[in-house]
């Protein structure tokens, strides 16, 4: 398979996996819905693919660290402190964070772990609130 096709397929897998999680978040009417989660997953995959194939023999882990840091700021923006106490948006922030990890896994060619993690995340998000 040509390298360019493999790169596209990795990003496409991230889009599909992000779409699975994003669909659930959209149906639940959460702030980060379908498009947001797809874009986060696809972006993380793209940055990962570019770090692997675009920069030669440089330290590819630096790009991964940058993704984690940037996504942390994005997730922090989803967290709101309530005036009556407590916080809102922690699950959304965690979903943003783990979705970026799924995108990074897909982007680096770790298809099985990206897919299985997506299923685990979806199962966790579908758990009734009274259990969690």
For 106-123, the pLDDT digits (tens) are 999 999 999 999 999 999
User: Encoding tokens for residue 91?
Assistant: 């699950």
Sign of CA dihedral 64, 5, 21, 121: negative
Residue 17: in which H helix or E strand, if any? helix 3-27
**First CA to last CA distance, the chain:** 44
* Mean pLDDT across the chain: 91
21-64 pLDDT, tens per residue?
A: 999 999 999 989 999 999 999 999 999 999 888 877 677 778 88
């Amino acid at each position: 398979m040509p390298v360019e096709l493999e790169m596209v397929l990795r990003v496409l897998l991230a889009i599909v996996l992000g779409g699975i999680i994003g669909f659930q978040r959209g149906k639940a009417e959460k702030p980060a819905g379908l498009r947001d989660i797809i874009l986060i997953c696809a972006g993380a995959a793209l940055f990962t693919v570019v770090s692997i194939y675009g920069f030669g023999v440089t330290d590819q882990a630096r790009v991964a660290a940058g993704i984690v840091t940037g996504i942390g700021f994005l997730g922090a923006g989803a967290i709101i402190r309530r005036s009556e106490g407590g916080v809102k948006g922690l699950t959304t922030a965690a979903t943003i964070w783990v979705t970026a990890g799924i995108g990074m896994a897909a982007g680096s060619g770790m298809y099985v772990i990206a897919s299985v993690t997506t299923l685990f995340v979806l199962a966790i998000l579908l758990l009734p609130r009274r259990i969690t």
